[in-house]
Amino acid sequence: MTPSSIYDPHWALYPKAYVATRSIGPVEINGDLEKPVWNSVPWSDLFEDIQGNDAPANAISPAKTAFKAIYDDEHLYVGALLHPSPVFRTEAHFTTRNSPIYQTDSDFEVFFDLNGSNHGYKEFEVNALNTVWNLMLDKPYDDGGHEHSGRIAHRGDSAFYDVNSQTTAVQVLEGRLNDASNQGALWSVEMAFAFEDLAAHLPSPVPRPSPGTFWRINISRVELKGEVNWTWQPQKVWDPLLRKHHGKVAMHMPDSWGYLIFGDTVLELDNSSWRDPLWPTKLAAMNIYYAQYFYKSLNGFYTDCMEELAGYLDLEITSPFKVDLVADTDRFLATVSASDEDQAISILDDRLLQVIPSARMSSTAV
């Protein structure tokens, strides 16, 4: 996409990005983030409230939380440090694999959308006892999605998902877990995510990452049985009612996650060559998705008329693009393209986002 001032509003909404560098050697997963392999790896930005600057005034201030990441030919490695909060203790009770950790425990979570489609994404949770839960969402819950995991199904069942080559470790560095005096603990977690596990069950093969590959990810810390949510990338999306992009208490919006970039060395993130070149088009497509969602809540059906939808759109975001829109009562398909691109973005009513050649654009009935 040719740089242009018409896309300045889009790039102003570009989410955070983190560059995972190649590992300088073998990684022994033991929870120690001070070993040499991590020494030169930069920390991420500190986590914020999940709503970012839209958090309520009485929200608990985020305790210091950050991660770092490296990779090799087989794994993505993520290490994180979770400092205690002065407000609550560190809870850790679940010891059975694939338990719903966030419901009771202090919880560290990593989300992966390898192909950026908003479908078939993976979620990982771990507590300070190194109890893990792996699950896959066929699509977001708000779009009729379902959990696939070993919590609800057995191997061989259609709803089963688990990993084969994952390694994790936790260290409690200061304090105690479940402390009766309500004091929190400082703990670290180190994780090795196998590429073959993360790419499993996707509709088309995903190549192993190489320098320049980018994924959509987000990472969160959940406390107080879900009442507290701190994230690396705040969850902000277009809100047609408020007429602005606004923070939401909802992790299952992959379109609002950040970007993980794979590189050989630390890269300058202000270099536009390391941004998703289709971001403005994708943002416009998601703007239409949220406007349609709101329109249907008012009228009971989707519209195939962009003029009818205009009052619920951010026209600064959508107007630079050509939009083909078809719809019936319960479904819609929008195809968004720019004149200087040979690719278009399609968005369906169930949030399925796809990159397609512009030549394939058509008004195919939904």
> 């195939």: which residue's tokens?
304
pTM listed for this prediction: 0.95
CATH number at residue 269: 2.60.40.1190
Are residues 238 and 285 both part of a single domain? no
For 284, phi and psi rounded to 5 degrees?
A: -65, -40
Check residue 362 and give its pLDDT. Answer: 45
Quote the pLDDT of residue 264: 86
Q: What is the pLDDT of residue 339?
A: 85
Are 185 and 316 contained in the same domain?
A: no
What pLDDT, on the 0 to 100 scale, is given for residue 363? 42
Asked if 145 and 267 sit in the same domain, the reply is: yes
Note the pLDDT of residue 273: 64
What confidence score (pLDDT) does residue 1 get? Answer: 47
| 10-residue mean pLDDT series, the chain (366 residues) | 79 97 94 97 98 97 98 98 98 98 98 98 99 98 98 96 98 97 97 98 92 97 98 99 98 99 69 82 99 98 98 98 97 95 95 85 42
Instruction: Mark whether 142 and 211 lie in a shared domain.
Output: yes
Last residue within a domain, chosen from 217, 251, 274: 274
Residues 253 and 308 in one domain: no
Residue 248: the pLDDT is 98
Whether 92 and 183 share a structural domain:
yes
29 occurs within a structural domain: yes
Which sign, positive or negative, has the C-alpha torsion 324, 310, 142, 282? positive
**Coil, strand, or helix at residue 29?**
coil
The verdict on residue 155 lying in a domain is yes
Identity (one letter) of the amino acid at 194?
A
Tell me: do 202 and 285 sit in the same domain: no
- Tell me if 5 is assigned to some domain: no
Please report whether residue 152 resides in a domain: yes
* 298 belongs to a structural domain: yes
Do the domain assignments include residue 7? no
Both structure tokens of 226: 């879900």
In b/e form, how buried is each residue of 339-351, taking b as 16+ CB within 10 angstroms? Answer: eebebbbbbbbbb
Domain end among 211, 243, 274 = 274
Does residue 8 form part of some domain?
A: no
Same domain, 288 and 270: no
Rounded Cα distance, 71 and 33, in Å: 15
**Containing domain of residue 54, as a range?**
13-274
Separation between Cα atoms, residue 260 and residue 275, nearest integer Å: 10
180 and 57 in a common domain: yes
- Is 69 inside a domain boundary? yes
Q: What is the CA radius of gyration of the chain?
A: 21
Same domain, 204 and 61: yes
Q: 219: helix, coil or strand?
A: strand
Domain boundary among 274, 304, 320: 274
Within this chain, do residues 214 and 291 fall inside the same structural domain, yes or no? Answer: no
Tokens linked to 65: 């939380």
| Domains held by the chain: number | 2
pLDDT at 334: 99
CB within 8 Å of 216: residues ≥ 6 apart: 112, 113, 114, 116, 121, 254, 255, 257, 258, 259, 260
Is 161 found in the same domain as 30?
yes
